[in-house]
Amino acid sequence: MKPCISCNSKPNPCLNFHYFLLLLTLTSTTLCSSQSPTLILPLKTQEIPSGSFPKSPNKLPFHHNVTLTVSVTVGTPPQNVSMVIDTGSELSWLNCNRTRNFTFDPTRSSSYKPIPCSSPTCTTRTRDLSIPASCDSNKLCHATLTYADFSSSEGNLAADAFSIGSSSGTSSLVFGCMDSIFDPNSEEDSKNTGLMGMNRGSLSFVSQMEFPKFSYCISESDFSGVLLLGDANFSWVAPLNYTPLIQISTPLPYFDRVAYTVQLEGIKVANKLLPIPKSDYEPDHTGAGQTMVDSGTQFTFLLGPVYTALRTEFLNQTAHILRVYEDPNFVFQGAMDLCYRVGLNQSKLPQLPSVTLMFRGAEMKVTGKQLLYRVRGEVRGNDSLWCFTFGNSDLLGVEAFVIGHHHQQNVWMEFDLHNSRIGLAEVQCDLAGQKFGLTV
């Protein structure tokens, strides 16, 4: 069901540090295109304590310190909830644990409808359910999500009214109402909110809402960005370069067919192309080696041979401007083993060589502060630690290239489901909200 939106509106180590939240507020603007309405929401940042983020299955087994979150209302009367936007997941879910600091109480919603296990929805195949949905004692559809770090969540599939931003219309969407959430790595699992699955699966939020496309523009930490849901064209955005989504019709054990998979074809450090055969970037006969664009993962992870080549070249080109942290036992987030010592009194980083990810038909250029990440709480003498923001997928046991949202900053990201492609353009995302007349 398409949303009923009025077009009359105006335009593996845990680290002890604070986490950041990119928050999409309830304020919104609605514009009309020739095909369908577009909902525009502003993006802002704020600090929140650790342990406050929901997880999704098939995710890299470490804690992220940034997530993208949208505020919506669910139920009748509406209840405000926050959901992490995850282009790497299908099934949306909310924390329905009424004994803790829950985010959604189904008993207070007259429009809440649990899905019976006899419903075809209960047998819909989704990669998110590592354990197939089953029947509980009340003959309701019961789902269990398990994760790489041994945490889990379970509850019933249900449908309820969802409304985004200031739109007056609602749509009934299927989601998981999770009443049991277990995280052995966090004492604050009760603060988990919910997750909005945005991949191409039939139960994802964008599939159920029938949005032909969506876009977002992620700014750096202190500025406003924007999320667009729907189809719209804006002349001020730089021309988009499109890369096609890779489709494989035959089921393969290690290939996620509903992910946003693109073809990585090469990597440059400054202007030097890494001497890697293109076959090393392509999925093999099992499907291992696909390249996924994932807003639910923070950093970017490359398979071993490609990562090693990038690490070596970046290390060579920074040998005279940065001091390597020589400790083989320190691996940031379990997969990032190239770190540097930077003086605590040093006001800014030296000029770094850019890293360009070359996709079929489009490029993503990573520069400046996006290349190194300061590890909060880690000090060595008079130095802070900064780690290279590309990691080794092999160290995590992940058979894929994953393009995280850290490297999507200041890039207009358009997910065109209708034409099976992703568009990219360099944009100052802190100015995007101003262009749409949004404030945060």
Give the residue numbers marked as catalytic. Answer: 86, 294
Does 283 sit behind a cis peptide bond, omega within 30 degrees of 0 on the bond before it? no
Query: What distance in Å separates the CA atoms of residue 323 and residue 25, rounded to the nearest whole number?
Result: 41
How far apart, in Å, are the Cα atoms of 165 and each of 30, 42, 71, 207, 330? 9, 10, 7, 19, 43
Indicate the helix (H) or strand (E) that contains 431: helix 429-435
Q: What angle do CA 15, 386, 64 make, to 5 degrees?
A: 40
The residues facing 31 across adjacent strands are 38
- Number of helices (H) and strands (E) in the chain: give both, helices first: 4, 30
Two structure tokens written together for 121: 């929805």
Closest C-alpha to 298, from 373, 200, 194: 373
How far apart, in Å, are the Cα atoms of 73 and each of 63, 172, 181? 27, 12, 21
Two structure tokens written together for 238: 């730089």
Two structure tokens written together for 161: 């009214």
